Amino acid sequence: MNLTKEQKQEIKDQQSQENKTKRVTAPELEKVLYEVIPILDHGFIRVIDYMGDDTSIVQAARVSYGKGTKKVSTDSGLIKYLMRHWHSTPFEMCEIKYHIKLPIFIARQWIRHRTANVNEYSARYSILDKEFYLPAAEHLAAQSQNNRQGRGDVLKGDQAKKVLDLLKNDAEQTYNNYETMLNEKYDGSIIDENATGLARELARMNLTLNTYTQWYWKTDLLNLMNFLRLRADHHAQYEIREYANAMLDTVKKWVPITYEAFMDYRVGGTEVSSKGKKIIQKLIKGEKINVEDSGLSKREWNELMEAFNLKDKLI
């Protein structure tokens, strides 16, 4: 990731602000505000703004449940209760805004979370930076044989090199031709003074999906947790998981109590179906169980056994 001199100065200016406010603040998050947190080879996330903290959640819950919340004596106890029982609206009282640089194919996954506010760099108006994602060798994996959406073993030397070369050459060539069609270099210099360039809104179609884009992305804490639950999960694609993990860190700095409850009840938890509950009950009683009588498919059976780390019961 290369920041221009201008960008570095802008960030420095933002960080040197020292404003007074009567709003609640999150001191740990303030420390990293505006900071560039690098992701992948050219990407980053930056926390640009936020609103509320753990006490905002408690405040909203207490207005909802009024005198009814007196019994839950601590803020921590109340937040855990809310998380456990899937109360949603108190967590919507907190808001956060990120500046994110990410490859287009990841942006396409990301945007499917519809509840956020987004302002993306527009290639209709402006020329995209000459930056594209190339996976590190250890992330260049083969298609998984038993999971249609997963990765298998890492590619070996020769094949890995070949793939990387193809990705690099194609990205560079298509970007160069993008400049040729625009009749303009990425730095704004004109290529041929006597020619006219193709409209930007057309030329962009020649770029490959690993080209980097950037956006401001703003969401409330509830929807952020829904995003992180899916995208920090080990089923998520490695590239988006890297972003999700870095964002988890910012959540920890922002709302530490909520973070802890989230890790316990959502990220580290599991769901058990009606049929699954019966199997667990039998296991606890020491009764014999088998997949045929369980009503579970083979796949469901294994998912249940894995959730409770019962490796010996896998079939």
Residue 301 is a binding residue for a second copy (CB under 8 A): no
Residues 254-273 that bind a second copy (CB under 8 A): 263-265, 267-273
Annotated catalytic residue, options 151, 231, 241, 266? 231
Q: Which among 1-9, 38-46, 126-134, 248-256 is the span making contact with a second copy, rule CB under 8 A? A: 126-134
For residue 20, state whether it binds a second copy (rule: CB under 8 A): yes
**Cα–Cα distance measured from residue 222 to residue 174, given in angstroms and rounded to the nearest whole number:** 40
Among the listed residues 11, 33, 36, 37, the single contact to a second copy using CB under 8 A: 33
Residue 118 interacts with a second copy (CB under 8 A): yes or no: yes
Closest to a second copy by CB, 107 vs 246, is 107
Euclidean distance between CA atoms 280 and 43, whole angstroms: 44
- Separation between Cα atoms, residue 184 and residue 177, nearest integer Å: 10
Give, in order, the Cα–Cα distances in Å from 177 to each of 128, 168, 188. Answer: 13, 14, 15
150 binds a second copy (CB under 8 A): yes
Binding of a second copy by 37 (CB under 8 A): no
Q: Of these, 7, 9, 122, 290, which contacts a second copy (CB under 8 A)?
A: 122
Among 36, 37, 127, 291, binds a second copy (CB under 8 A): 127
Q: What are the b/e assignments for 228-250, b being 16+ CB within 10 Å? A: beebbeeebeebbebbbebbbeb
Rounded to 10 degrees, the C-alpha dihedral 187/193/196/202 comes to -20
Q: How far apart are CA 226 and CA 232, in angstroms?
A: 10
135 near a second copy, rule: CB under 8 A: yes
| DSSP symbol at 264 | I
Burial class of 171 by CB neighbour count within 10 A (0 to 12, 13 to 18, 19+): buried
DSSP-derived 3-state class of residue 170:
helix
From the CB of 170, what's the least distance to a second copy, in Å?
5
List the structure tokens of 16.
């040197």
State in angstroms the smallest separation of the CB of 234 from a second copy: 13
Q: Which is nearer to a second copy, 170 or 249 (CB)?
A: 170
Give me 290's structure tokens: 């088998």
Where do we find the tokens 């044989």? 145
Residue 157 makes contact with a second copy by CB under 8 A: no
* Stretch of 1-9, 36-44, 158-166, 242-250 lying at the interface with a second copy (CB under 8 A): 158-166
Q: Smallest gap, in angstroms, from Cβ of residue 203 to a second copy? A: 8
Residue 237 in the binding site for a second copy (CB under 8 A)? yes
Question: CB of 57 within 8 A of CB of 91?
Answer: yes
Site for a second copy in 181-200 (CB under 8 A): 181-182, 188, 195-200
Determine, following the binding rule CB under 8 A, whether residue 19 of this chain makes contact with a second copy. Answer: yes
- Give the integer Cα–Cα distance in Å for 217 and 99: 6
Q: In what order do the strands lie in the sheet with 37-39?
A: 37-39, 43-51, 95-103, 212-220, 117-120
Interface positions, 52-91, toward a second copy (CB under 8 A): 52, 56, 59-61, 63-69, 71, 77, 80-81, 84, 86, 89-90
Please, which of residues 161-180 interact with a second copy by CB under 8 A?
163, 166-167, 170-171, 173-174, 177, 180
The verdict on whether 231 is a catalytic residue reads yes
CA-CA distance, 302 to 276, in Å (whole number)?
A: 11
142 binds a second copy (CB under 8 A): yes
Q: Which is nearer to a second copy, 202 or 314 (CB)?
A: 202
Query: Among all residues, which ones are annotated catalytic?
Result: 231
